[in-house]
Structure formats: structure tokens, C-alpha cells
Amino acid sequence: MKRFFVILATTLSLCSCSVLGGINWNAEGLVSAAGKAATAASISDDMVVELSRQTIAQMDAQSVIDHGAYEQRLSRVLSGLKDLDGLPLNFKVYKTKEINAFACGDGSIRVYSGLMDVMDDDELTAIIGHELGHVRHKDTKRAIKNAYVASAARDILASAGSYGAMASALLGDMGEALVSAQFSQAQEYKADEHGCQFAIDRGKNPYSMYNALEKLMQLSDGGNGSVIAHMFADHPKTEKRMERMKKMADNYTASKN
């Protein structure tokens, strides 16, 4: 199956010893909390934030982070964007050929250099707006919760590794959930609308979201499916999404004339 990666992650800083809700969030606390977490409903918002922070911290540590031209371009494209509904945002570029971006519920946004290579500034803005939509709509929060529960439900906790190794495996599972999140069609539609509006609000081409979707579909046709993920799972759905984004841009343009 062709998969497209656009991952939006919020940045989280590792806090190995904070106390949240009576849980000591070092590696041991992370694992023993997982052992007790039977359902998504039992996971508090504070836990989600801390899980997100630790997940991103691990991903950052395992990635090559650009501090050159990519970082400069991203900060120019997103200049002035400091928070989302009061949630402080932070951005980093992962240097990789993969075409992806993701956001995490703590305000961390991670953009892959492979995505920046194929998108112009307007399209990049729309895609980041799409990912911010997933954060604003709490989609990423649910993804983290579900991944944590699924991971805890497996026998990973019964393995003979150290707490550190088990915690690392848990965080790896949650990172994977962010990178290849499978959101529902309704969630994607809402995130697309958010991306389109975000681009418009920042003075970009109203067709930026539409153009970005079209470009990703063309790239997948060119045999690049292995490096593209998440938002663009299959063509009928992508075409439907493009249709909706064209209509939204048409309506906006008509309202300005």
C-alpha cells in the first residue's frame, strides 16, 4: 500500500524526573504507569503531555536536526507563529529524504527536509496548518493515548529488558503512531480545512492546500510512495480531498471579488 508521510509533531523536552499526578516519570514510572493503563479513558491529559514530551525527545535524539538552510527557511515561513490557542509551539527540521511532517499535542512540530525539498513556501505553510489542525482538534492526543494503551497491552512490559529499554520501546511505539498516524477521513477533512484557512490567514495562495495534495499524489505516482506517508493514503480519497480544497479556495476567492 502506498503511504504518504506528513507528520506533524509538537516538540517535547525530556523531563526524566518530573512528578505528574503522583507518578514519577522516570523510565520506571513510565513503564509501571503503562502496566496500569488499561484504557485510553484512564490516561489523564497531564500524562498525555508528558508522554508526548518524552516521545518527541526520543525522536529528536534519534534524528539529524538541521541547523542550516532548512531551519532558516522554516523559521522564515512560520515567522511570528509562537503559539496555538496559548500552547507554545516549537519547530525543528529532521534531515531525511522522507516526505513527512508531524505535530504533537505538546506544541512540537517536526518537518522533514524531504518534504521541504518538494514543497514551495505556500504549500509548506498549508501542510503545517493541516498538522496544526490535528493538534487543535485533539487528533494527535487520541493517537498518543491509543498507541500507549496498545503498547501497554502487549507483552512488551513482561519482557526481560531493563526499565530503560522498555520505556524506550514504549516511546518508540508512540513515535511510530505520530509518524504514520492513520486518522479518519473526517479528521483529515477537518485538518485540510484548517490547513487551507491557515494558509489564507498567513496571506498565502488560497489553493496552497489543494496544490500540496496534488503534488503528493503526483509524487506517489512517480514511485516515491515509500517515502511519503500519513495524509495521503489512497487515490480516491486524495482526489476527494483535493476536490474539497479546490471548492474552499474557489469560495474564498469568489468572496473577495
Indicate which residues carry an active-site annotation: 131
Compare residues 191 and 216 and give the one whose CB is closer to Zn ion: 191
- Asked if residue 217 binds Zn ion (CB under 5 A), the reply is no
- Asked if residue 103 binds Zn ion (CB under 5 A), the reply is no
Q: How far is the CB of 211 from Zn ion (least distance, A)?
A: 16
Cell 498565502 appears where?
A: 204
- For 83-86, which contacts have Cβ atoms below 8 Å and span 24 or more sequence positions? 83/107, 84/132, 84/135, 84/136, 85/136
Q: How far is the CB of 165 from Zn ion (least distance, A)?
A: 31
Compare residues 7 and 249 and give the one whose CB is closer to Zn ion: 7
Q: How far apart are the first and last CA of the chain?
A: 42
Q: How far is the CB of 130 from Zn ion (least distance, A)?
A: 6
Residue 180, Cβ density class (10 Å: 0-12 exposed, 13-18 middle, ≥19 buried): middle
Q: How far is the CB of 216 from Zn ion (least distance, A)?
A: 11
Compare residues 92 and 241 and give the one whose CB is closer to Zn ion: 241
Chain positions 176 to 205 lying near Zn ion, rule: CB under 5 A, are 188, 191
Compare residues 66 and 188 and give the one whose CB is closer to Zn ion: 188
Q: How far apart are CA 214 and CA 223, in angstroms?
A: 15
How many Cα atoms within 13 Å fall on the side-chain side of residue 139? Answer: 29
Taking CB under 5 A as the binding criterion, the range among 16-24, 83-91, 169-177, 228-236 that sits at the site for Zn ion is 228-236
Helix, strand, coil share (%) of the chain residues, nearest 5: 60, 10, 30
DSSP state of 41: G
Number of shown-chain residues binding Zn ion (CB under 5 A): 3
Compare residues 25 and 232 and give the one whose CB is closer to Zn ion: 232
Q: What is the 3-state secondary structure (H, E, C) of 129-142?
A: HHHHHHHHCCHHHH
DSSP 135-203: HHTTHHHHHHHHHHHHHHHSGGGGSSS-HHHHHHHHHHHHHHHHHT----HHHHHHHHHHHHHHHHHTT
- Asked if residue 231 binds Zn ion (CB under 5 A), the reply is yes
Q: How far is the CB of 235 from Zn ion (least distance, A)?
A: 16
Q: Return the residue nearest Zn ion (CB atom).
A: 231
Binding site for Zn ion (CB under 5 A): 188, 191, 231
